[in-house]
Structure 1
Amino acid sequence: MEILGLYPTWSEPFVGNGWVVGIIATIHVLMSHTAVGAALFFTYLATIAYRDDRPELLDYIKSYGLFLLIFSYVLGSITGPGIWYSTTVASPRGISALIHSFVWKWATEWVFFVIEVVGVYLIIYLIGKVDKRTHLKIAWIFGLASLTTMLIIVGILSFMMWPGKAAWFAEGGYLNGFYGSNTFAHLAMRVAFMFTMTAVVGGIVVAGLKDKALKRDIARRLGIMGLISGVIGFGLLKWYMTTLPPETEVVVANRLPAYFDDSMLITLAIIGTYFIVTMIQPRLLIRSVAATMTVVILVFGLWPEETARESIRKPFVAGQYLYSNQIVARDVPGMNIESELPTLAAHGVLATHPFLPDGLRTVTPENAVAAGEAIALTMCSNCHNLSETGIRPIRNYFGDETDVAAIRDYLKAALSTGATMYMPAMPLTHDEFEALAVYIAWLEDPAAADAYAAAARRLALDTEN
């Protein structure tokens, strides 16, 4: 019998695996995107400063750069490994899929990231210590290296939505997987919004400037950059949506809340108003206001956008072949990958999961709840919390139903073929569907599981007699 290539399941009981990853990732996106946008903004300011002999602009670069060393390059470097750790334990095969396809691409990104980290120190601490030409070269290298890191990461993120070219499934190769229409739409949208983030976060530093003329000048530059990039970014979001896999249209219509577009527009309107006000009245730009707007863009801008991106790629977690529950759902000859759905259909998950105790390999009336919980943890917990809180609690999808047979029949109809909108196919055995139904009924009322066990024992006795 074949064994599924699964790992032990990590389940966070209160908020769910998805939210743990999402919270860390959203904070990291704000910090990393601000760093890239600021690098290009520094390049622009350094060019203006040396061309027009405006050393005060270099002073702002130094102040913003010192802030970034903590905000982006310390805190961002903490949340970066946090993403690696949380995604590795939540979706080990998802991370493996990315590494096997893009290990050298990721190595390239790390090279440019090292240049970026060295560059931020050089651009800050070499102001006035090297000649103008050398410092300007450093600024341009720093800015372009930062942008390159984003290009590479966005290409990998786009692969998570779907491979760049259909040829990747048959031939493999990172160029087939990396470059697609979604890659460039995704990159353009993120670049636009990253300048909006840079402008908002940059206001925290502007608020502390004592030179009123410089404060007015930088507030105006940041405001113009933030307004233009915000409008362009929202327009590019529409383009991005046209580059998604065809089936995501159904998911978007049913999974994204009706207020999604309106909430994004309202958030942009609030941020736009903030930019206009601070351009007209720079004295109103104080650190508490700038910090509040940073939280607004994080909570009401980034979080919904990142949540939407995660939702619309379901039921897959990578490359349109790996389900979010870590089951390989299709053959990928180019990567020597075979679908595990036939094995799952033939033997079930309990018999083929390498990390389950032997006492749960076969469903019995006595272990039905524990077996059902093991199935739910393995097959469901990456998208549904098993407790009453957190991300999509599984019990909420069954109302007050405690009839094991009714729940079992519903599960079989919904999951056996994968014909639902965004749920993966789960061709479990009859006994496994029944164990999962017992567990779901037990979540609503533990007495239902006791009643099932008693009925199953009576049926077994009647059959023996």
Structure 2
Amino acid sequence: MYPTFYIPGIGTAWMMGIIGVVHVVASHTSVGASFLFALLETRAFRQNKPELLAFIKRYGAFLLVFSYIIGSITGPGIWYAITVASPRGVSGLIHNFVWVWASEWVYFTVEVIGVYALVYLIDKVDARTHLMLTWTFAMASWATMLLIVGILSFMMWPGNAIWYETGRAADAFFSPNFFAQLGVRTGGMLVMAAIVGLVLASRVRDRAQRREIIRLVAPVGLSGGAIAVLMFFAYLHTLPQNAIVMLNTHLLPVYGREMLAVFIVTASWLMFCWVFPQRVYTSLAVPLFVLIAVAGVWPEERMRESMRKPFVAGQYIYGNQVIARNVPGRGIHDEVDRIAAHGLLALHPFIPDRLRVIDDANRLEAGRLLTRLACANCHSLEPGGPLRSLPDKLHRATDEDLIAAFLRGPLGHGTQPYMPRIDLPDAEVRAIAHYLAAVDAGKDVDRLIDQHHKNGR
């Protein structure tokens, strides 16, 4: 357990989500582009079409800036964000998959070296050697995705109950969710690569070359989209029960129509480009890329992150960092009952001494800290906040007894399938209720606490 990192107004998870969406767009484009390069260069090699190599070089140079520089910045950004927001979740992933991470970094190194070599060795080595280099780059790129997807699928659930007994990485890595999610992302990466490729193809001046390139790129995107859709339906059948409840109750009503609209726009655009390649203009291709990248990736990533609630990894670590079940294979023990008996303030190592025992003088400050520890990883704590605002979820209730009853009832007994079981002693329940009632009443809680400290000194 580490001190809770909270970003006022938006909540910590939104920061992770914003960085993550940018990274996914960049990384998926790079992986998809690697296979697009391999397919185009294979055609260029077999049919002696050097103009395709010129397009690959242009696309590769764009990739170096867009995907590898932006991706290399946002990648560590994700690590920083998730480490401060979910330290136990990150620790669980590292300890379970340390050699998988190490392998992914090796493949990523090959990928980065490969893209530079691919771009700068065109026309400097023989065609067969360069083609082998391009396919090596493609396979290394896809290997990084394969390994990361195995870890991401474990974040949803191990998929194999024996992992809790053995703790073996293989029992956690290969699950039905892994194969389905890999299919979705493989199809999606081809779509993203095609959408970016159409932007660059629209800049080719020679009309005959532009027509040929677009006619090659658009079907790759359509094929990838078909794979992604089919595997998405398979993916839905690999979800745990809590994810299905979350999906049907909260996510599809919000994002379902948007995702359908993005699918229709994307398919229509790719089909239009295939049929009318001479009408693909940069002024149209760029806005559609931005629309598809943002409106397509954001809801997909938001849904995937939200579906695993109340857990952050392996269905044994809650989003609020509390261990939710025993994992004998890893020597991990359930903490929920201990917290219920002794209190979060007594067991958490990073609690100021003045807040270990709640009294009338510190109840508001203790309530703020407890709410951040127990709730802030999934909720914003300000009215109107974009990340599942907790005051809004409570309908701005100012009745402390009503809020406390909810905490003791559904949350204390763990009857909400997408919420962690938060079973706390009565004094801590009342402190949280006191804080939330003050926030719901529109009080400037932070100012009140600061003023109390000043008066105390």
What TM-score comes out, normalization by structure 1 length? Answer: 0.93
Corresponding letter in the other structure for 2:246: V
Give the secondary-structure state (helix, strand or coil) at the position aligned to 1:256.
Answer: helix
Q: Is the 8 A contact 1:160 1:319 kept in 2?
A: yes
1:163-186 Cα offsets, whole Å, 9 max, x none, are 142111000111111011110000
The answer on whether the counterparts of 1:13 and 1:387 sit within 8 Å (CA) in structure 2 is yes
In the alignment, does 2:106 pair up with 1:114? no
1:35 to 7, 17, 30: 30
Q: CA deviation at 1:448?
A: 12
Q: For residues 408 and 126 of structure 1, do their structure 2 counterparts lie closer, same or farther at Cα, with a shift above 3 Å needed? A: same
In the alignment, the residues of structure 2 paired with residue 220 and residue 237 of structure 1 have an alpha-carbon distance, to the nearest angstrom, of 26
Separation in structure 2 between the aligned mates of residue 250 and residue 194 of structure 1, nearest angstrom: 28
Aligned partner of 1:144 in structure 2 is 139
**Structure 2 equivalent of residue 436 of structure 1:** 432
Per the alignment, in what secondary structure is the counterpart of residue 317 of structure 1? strand
1:278 to partner: Cα distance:
2.3
Is residue 225 from structure 1 mapped to residue 220 from structure 2 by the alignment? yes
Describe how 1:42-191 pairs up with structure 2 within 5 A. Answer: 42-191=37-186
The CA deviation at 1:248 is 2.2
CA distance in 1, matches of 2:375, 2:127: 58
Could you say which residue in structure 2 is the equivalent of 1:454?
A: none
Which one of the candidate residues 5, 10, 15 is aligned to 1:15? 10
State the match for 1:340 in structure 2.
335
Retained in 2: the 8 A contact 1:345–1:427?
yes
Q: 1:137 to 1:448 in 2, by over 3 A?
A: closer
Matched, 1:276 2:271: yes
Aligned mate of 1:256, from 251, 260, 267: 251
Aligned in 2, Cα 1:288/1:82: closer, same or farther, shift over 3 Å?
farther
| Residue number in structure 1 paired with 2:416 | 420
Among candidates 300, 305, 312, match of residue 307 of structure 2: 312
* Contact kept? 1:186, 1:240, Cα under 8 Å: yes
Conserved 8 A contact 2:198-2:218 = no
Equivalence for 2:236: 241
Q: Please, which runs of 5 or more residues in structure 1 have no aligned partner?
A: 1-5, 450-465
Deviates more, 1:129-138 or 1:223-232: 223-232
- Equivalent positions of 1:397-412 (< 5 A) are 397-412=393-408
**SS of equivalent residue, structure 1 residue 20:** helix
SS at match of 2:344: coil
- What's the offset of the Cα at 1:26? 0.9
CA distance in 1, matches of 2:137, 2:344: 50
Amino acid at match of 1:345: A
The one-letter code matched in structure 1 to 2:89 is: G
- Size of the aligned set, in residue pairs, is 444
- Confirm whether residue 200 of structure 1 aligns to residue 191 of structure 2: no
| CA distance in 2: counterparts of 1:353 and 1:292, whole angstroms | 49
**Displacement, 1:298?**
2.2
- Give yes or no for contact 1:403–1:448 (8 Å, CA) kept in 2: no
Q: Offset at 1:246?
A: 2.7
Residue 321 of structure 2 aligns to a residue whose secondary structure is coil
Residues 116 and 239 of structure 1: CA distance in aligned 2, closer, same or farther (over 3 Å): same
